Chains A and B, each alone.
Chain A
Amino acid sequence: MSENEIDQALVLRVQAGERRAFDLLVRKYQHKVVGIVSRYIGDWAECQDVAQEAFIRAYRALGNFRGESAFYTWLYKIATNTAKNWLVSQGRRPPTDDVPVDDAVHLDAAVRLKDGSTPERELLRQEIEAAVTAAVDGLPEELKLAITLREVDGLSYEEIAESMNCPIGTVRSRIFRARDAIDQRIRPLLNDTESE
């Protein structure tokens, strides 16, 4: 089951009336959607509201989702349209320089400075990024290689197994252990936020 197929399975469950399945899609894509909306809307509180609205619109329109494109591509369009419509409703002119969905997720830090994120949220984001980087740097070599091949290079378990000359089960275990180490680093940061 590929990543798109997982999304599609969740979509089918939502279409069958299981609302909780949509929560998993929200949790998976909330960081990206808020990131997209923040390109259009500078005010952080408004950005949160519009991002929520984008998810609600996606939920309402999910009955018409045909699966012809990836779920995230579809969600990305809804998020940008929701942000633009909100700007128009506020009497503001939406930007005309649309960024293709594939490029939108790989923007440099200079663009990020324009985001409407609060300094505290931006600092936390940077802390989390640093924690992830530090966690990967501290991994044993075989775990670091496995997680890098998977997350950065996008290789499948089978391809990683060939590359590392080990069974697929070992690859799966190494990737999990690497993720566990990363999770131990970032969980306290997020828990601190949640306890605020």
Chain B
Amino acid sequence: MSNEPSLREQLSALADGELAPDQARFLLRRIDAEPALAAEWQRLHLARACLRRERIALPDVGFADAVAARIRAEAAPAALGGWRRTALGGAIAAGMAALALFAVAPRTDVAPTAAPVLAEVAPLDTRDLALRAAPGELQRASDRTWSPLPVAAPFDLRVESYFLRHGGAATAAPRGGFVPYVNVVATPAAAPPIPLRDPQSQGEAARR
């Protein structure tokens, strides 16, 4: 038996799960090193089982030692369990997939260094125009300040082809695709011009 009453009291609290984690870790290591504490640990749980009227049987003397001797001959169980290996493998696979996606996928973004087209257009001075243009050729200011938006990088042809095929298949499906009243992708040839209606005719249509 250990001569330290405080240590034995800690052992009792440990068995009840009432010891602080740091103390518990320390004590568990002490039990490893002190056979008397290990034996008391064993008796404490035996007494507990008796008090709780649990089904027990007394193993032969030296049962735990025999198991320990056999375990010494065994290789240590993998520190990284099977499920952890699986999780790690999955994480590596996901990482590789993400790397491949970003490394190989076409870039559709505009380089941050590319200046907008508007910035390259020299500001117009309407006084100059007024002086140079002939009467009647003057343009409205709103017309002159217009400039086309930057054109996005060309779309990947494979992706574009996929969307076209997907759109065609969706509309050709028996029920007209998953949203039958919407053209998912409209090719220029397939998309009929949408007739513009004046507000009055739209109001009439709504009333009908």
In the docked arrangement, what's the CA distance between A143 and B25, Å?
A: 27
Can you name 26 A-B pairs with beta carbons within 8 Å?
A1-B17, A9-B24, A10-B28, A15-B79, A22-B68, A24-B38, A28-B42, A31-B45, A48-B63, A51-B59, A52-B67, A56-B71, A56-B74, A64-B83, A111-B55, A121-B58, A125-B57, A128-B50, A128-B58, A147-B51, A156-B18, A179-B44, A179-B47, A193-B58, A193-B61, A196-B61
Surface stretch bound by A, among B7-15, B111-119, B180-188:
B7-15
Q: Are A107 and B61 in contact (CB under 8 A)?
A: no
Interface string of A159-190 (1 = CB under 8 A from B): 00000000000001101100110110011001
Which of the four size classes fits the interface of chain B? 35 or more
Q: Are B43 and A157 in contact (CB under 8 A)?
A: no
Shortest distance in angstroms between B27's beta carbon and chain A's nearest beta carbon? 10
Interface of B, helix, strand, loop or mixed by DSSP: helix
On whether A63 and B77 interact (CB within 8 A), knowing A27-B42, A52-B63, A172-B9, the answer reads yes
Q: Are B58 and A5 in contact (CB under 8 A)?
A: no
Shortest distance in angstroms between A67's beta carbon and chain B's nearest beta carbon? 10
Q: Are A2 and B17 in contact (CB under 8 A)?
A: yes
Q: Are B82 and A63 in contact (CB under 8 A)?
A: yes
Q: Are A104 and B16 in contact (CB under 8 A)?
A: no
Give the total of A residues in contact with B, Cβ under 8 Å. Answer: 82
Interface string of B39-83 (1 = CB under 8 A from A): 111111111111111111111111110111011101011111111
Q: Is the CB of A150 closer than 8 A to any CB of chain B?
A: yes
Q: Is the CB of A6 closer than 8 A to any CB of chain B?
A: yes
On whether A31 and B8 interact (CB within 8 A), knowing A17-B79, A66-B83, the answer reads no
Interface of A, helix, strand, loop or mixed by DSSP: helix
In the docked arrangement, what's the CA distance between A104 and B53, Å?
A: 11
In the docked arrangement, what's the CA distance between A159 and B108, Å?
A: 64
- The CB with the most chain A CB atoms within 10 A, among B1, B12, B14, B82, is that of B12
Look across to chain A and name the residue whose beta carbon is closest to the beta carbon of B66: A52
Near B by CB (< 8 A), chain A positions 116-164 give: 117, 121, 124-125, 128-129, 132-133, 136, 147-148, 150-152, 156-157
Q: Are A15 and B57 in contact (CB under 8 A)?
A: no
Number of A-B pairs, beta carbon distance below 8 Å:
203
Q: Are B59 and A34 in contact (CB under 8 A)?
A: yes
Q: Is the CB of B164 closer than 8 A to any CB of chain A?
A: no
Q: Is the CB of A88 closer than 8 A to any CB of chain B?
A: no
Q: For B40, what are the chain A residues with a Cβ–Cβ distance below 8 Å?
A: 183
- The CB with the most chain B CB atoms within 10 A, among A38, A55, A111, A179, is that of A179
Q: Is the CB of B32 closer than 8 A to any CB of chain A?
A: yes
Q: For A105, what are the chain B residues with a Cβ–Cβ distance below 8 Å?
A: 49, 52, 54-55
Near B by CB (< 8 A), chain A positions 2-29 give: 2-6, 9-10, 13-24, 26-29
- The CB with the most chain B CB atoms within 10 A, among A35, A156, A194, is that of A35
Q: For B42, what are the chain A residues with a Cβ–Cβ distance below 8 Å?
A: 27-28, 30
On whether A64 and B82 interact (CB within 8 A), knowing A3-B16, A9-B24, A27-B38, the answer reads yes
